[in-house]
Amino acid sequence: MMQQISLDEILSMLLSRVDSLSVGTENIKSKVNIIGRALYKKGLLSDQDIVDAVKDEHSLLLELGAIKEMPQDDMLVAMADSLLQWLKGDGEAIKKSMKVYEEKMRQAIAKEESKPRIDVAPPSVLRQLDQLGGKGKGGKLIL
């Protein structure tokens, strides 16, 4: 005997699973931050250790083919600085970097929106335009 499941039930199950994954991810992130802060405060992690770990991580990603090229040293240092802000619990620096990031995103969006676009109508719309225009076969409207 087959049991039928509605689309709403499937979507509900999927959304529930996504929610639980999200909670789990946040839980793991919180634990890693707490452990990292404890190690940093005890002096078991130094700023240079973090920079070296970021470089090692990207070297491994490059070797595995997950990235195509090694980021430049200044980018690696910026990534390490971001991690160090979390480890040090520097709220002001984090807020400042978030504002800088948001501004860069706004600029990128504005730049993308200012680019010229080419919109292509589907064939059905072009046929309708041809019929409305009273033209014979093959006339296409280009704006």
Domain assignment of residue 39, yes or no: yes
Domain assignment of residue 31, yes or no: yes
Range of the domain at 29: 11-45
Going residue by residue through the chain, which has 143 residues, state the pLDDT in tens, using 9 for 90 and above: 678 888 899 999 999 999 999 999 999 999 999 999 999 999 999 999 999 999 999 999 999 999 999 999 999 999 999 899 989 988 898 899 889 889 999 998 998 888 887 777 788 887 887 777 765 555 555 55
Domain assignment of residue 94, yes or no: no
Domain assignment of residue 83, yes or no: no
Q: Outline where the chain has alpha helix (H).
A: 7-41, 47-64, 73-88, 91-114, 123-133
Q: Is 0.75 surpassed by the pTM of this model? A: no
Q: How many domains does the chain have?
A: 1
The whole-angstrom separation of Cα 15 and Cα 113 is: 32
Domain assignment of residue 24, yes or no: yes
Domain assignment of residue 77, yes or no: no
Contact between 130 and 139 (Cβ < 8 Å): yes
Contact between 76 and 58 (Cβ < 8 Å): yes
Domain assignment of residue 33, yes or no: yes
Contact between 109 and 76 (Cβ < 8 Å): no
Distances (CA, A) of 67 to 14, 71, 121: 30, 9, 37
Q: The tokens of 118 are what?
A: 């080419």
Domain assignment of residue 37, yes or no: yes
Report CA 99 to chain centroid distance, whole Å.
17
